[in-house]
Amino acid sequence: MATVAAVRQTSAIDVKALREDFPILKQRIHGRPLVYLDNSATTQKPTAVLDALQRYYFEQNANVHRGVHTLSGRATDLYDAARITAQRFLNAADPREIVYVRGTTEGINLVAQTWGRANIGKGDEIVLSEMEHHSNIVPWQILAQEKGARIRAIPVSDRGELQLDDFEKLLNDKTKIVAVTHVSNVLGTVNPVADVVRTAKKRGITVLIDGAQAVAHETVDVQALGCDFYAFSAHKIFGPTGIGVLYGRAALLESMPVYQGGGGMIGRVSFGATTYADLPYKYEAGTPNIAGAIGMGAALEYVMKIGLDRIAAHEQDLLAYATQQLSTVPGLRLTGTAPHKAAVLSFVLEDVHPHDVGTILDREGVAIRAGHHCCQPLMGRLGVPATARASFALYNTRQEVDVLVKALGTVHEVFA
Ligand SMILES: Cc1ncc(COP(=O)(O)O)c(C=O)c1O
């Protein structure tokens, strides 16, 4: 973790100006200025995205790929352009490697149900980690139950780091896939996914990275990572809900069976035999989320224009400052203190349930999340039923950290 002073030198984002891009942040909640610290759950949307969505429905709305009229051509061009934007964003080698999905969850389910069903059999092993979101556990359990395969989990240290020595020992000839999160939505830990990929690849094992919490906070280069699959959701990076990306290496995507059947994913249909469309359309059945894809493209352009390095520097400054400030709150214990973290701070307050913390903070205008964060196995590992979580994005400020810390003081007053 960088020190506050060191990070401040590299942070050049004009947050005050950036906040103007997010109209929702001007709201008051219970008479107080909104302090939105629930960015790991979903992020707010800039006018660039809202305008793209509105423009689409006002001026460009038509179905894609099947029309010969002007509007359909316009919609198709924008829809295809967003795929190229996503390709550039992830530095994928080919736009055919970008599959539109509903989000991270659908991306992982797609891999489990296609690649997984074709390649995982009885006695095979699927390696996850103790810090996975339910979206990167349950799809594999469904598959494992069907096939008689076994799930194994990389242990997590008390600080919230993957135990890499144990990881290597888990791998064997039966291991067919390693699926781990890039950044933990609870601990904030940034996992050394390049090392994870390298270790797995020495044994020829397929690797999926859950990028839901990573993409808004650091540059992702799927070619440099060398992973086979990478999934993310647009709504966690300032885009709309209901759309996301599954990146897959072209050779793998080519070889996998289809996912859902319907219009758009076929080559030719007859009752005798049906052939399928080329990549990526073979995985995109039915009328897609056209507006969502266009909105996601606008969000990715927005982030790339600001620059993920500058965003990361700003967030590291917030993380260092918030970590310092929260340590002054009596009875507060942070869960997740890995040296390499994203700006996510989960904590428990002595004798106060996280839901009560969240409710009292809401009265002060501060939006945080409380609960198990869809990570029940991790909660078990941490020995807590739930945590409170403040998660930051590019538009958050040190002043908002101060409001959070002051509001936590009121929690103590209520429960004193
Ligand atoms: C690490 C991680 N993986 C997967 C998901 C699922 O994302 P979505 O609900 O957008 O599919 C989340 C959502 O919080 C997450 O934090």
Query: Is residue 210 in contact with ligand 1, taking CB distance under 6 Å?
Result: yes
Q: What is the pLDDT of residue 66?
A: 75
Query: Is residue 43 in contact with ligand 1, taking CB distance under 6 Å?
Result: no
Query: Is residue 375 in contact with ligand 1, taking CB distance under 6 Å?
Result: no
Query: Is residue 181 in contact with ligand 1, taking CB distance under 6 Å?
Result: yes
184 CA closest ligand 1 atom index: 1
Instruction: Give the tokens for residue 38.
Output: 């629930």
Task: From 35, 43, 28, select the one nearest 367 (Cα to Cα).
Answer: 35
182 CA closest ligand 1 atom index: 1
Q: What is the pLDDT of residues 34-85, one digit of tens each?
A: 999 999 999 999 999 999 999 999 999 999 987 789 999 999 999 999 999 9
Other C-beta atoms lying within 10 Å of the C-beta of residue 317: 24
Contact between 327 and 270 under an 8 Å Cβ cutoff? The reply is no
Ligand 1 centroid to Cα of residue 412, in Å, is: 32
Task: From 18, 71, 90, select the one nearest 47 (Cα to Cα).
Answer: 18
106 CA closest ligand 1 atom index: 11
Pocket test for ligand 1, best of 38, 105, 191 (most atoms within 8 A of CB): 105
Q: What is the pLDDT of residue 414?
A: 84
Contacts of 9 (CB under 8 A, 6+ apart): none
Instruction: Give the tokens for residue 123.
Output: 């006695």
Other C-beta atoms lying within 10 Å of the C-beta of residue 356: 16
Ligand 1 centroid to Cα of residue 64, in Å, is: 28
DSSP secondary-structure letter at 278?
P
Pocket test for ligand 1, best of 213, 346, 373 (most atoms within 8 A of CB): 213
Query: Is residue 103 in contact with ligand 1, taking CB distance under 6 Å?
Result: yes
Instruction: Extract the residue ranges of the chain whose pLDDT is less than 50.
Output: 1-9
Contact between 353 and 339 under an 8 Å Cβ cutoff? The reply is no
**Could you tell me how many helices (H) and strands (E) the chain has, helices first?**
16, 17
Phi, psi of 231 (to 5 degrees): -120, 140
Between the CA of residue 133 and those of 292, 300, 385, 391, what are the distances in Å? 24, 23, 15, 16
Instruction: Give the tokens for residue 7.
Output: 């990070």
Other C-beta atoms lying within 10 Å of the C-beta of residue 239: 32
Q: What is the pLDDT of residues 154-179, one digit of tens each?
A: 999 999 999 999 999 999 999 999 99
Between the CA of residue 314 and those of 26, 43, 45, 152, what are the distances in Å? 21, 16, 19, 36
Ligand 1 centroid to Cα of residue 373, in Å, is: 9
- Catalytic center residues: 374
Ligand 1 centroid to Cα of residue 151, in Å, is: 20
Query: Is residue 39 in contact with ligand 1, taking CB distance under 6 Å?
Result: no
Q: What is the pLDDT of residue 305?
A: 96
Q: What is the pLDDT of residue 80?
A: 96
For atom 14 of ligand 1, which residue has the closest CA? 41
Query: Is residue 105 in contact with ligand 1, taking CB distance under 6 Å?
Result: yes
Query: Is residue 104 in contact with ligand 1, taking CB distance under 6 Å?
Result: yes
132 CA closest ligand 1 atom index: 1
Query: Is residue 189 in contact with ligand 1, taking CB distance under 6 Å?
Result: no
Task: From 135, 171, 146, 137, select the one nearest 246 (Cα to Cα).
Answer: 135
Instruction: Give the tokens for residue 395.
Output: 């538009």
Q: What is the pLDDT of residue 11?
A: 53
Contact between 211 and 231 under an 8 Å Cβ cutoff? The reply is yes
Half-sphere exposure at residue 199, Cβ-oriented, CA atoms within 13 angstroms: 19
Pocket test for ligand 1, best of 43, 185, 235 (most atoms within 8 A of CB): 185
Query: Is residue 133 in contact with ligand 1, taking CB distance under 6 Å?
Result: yes
Q: What is the pLDDT of residue 7?
A: 40
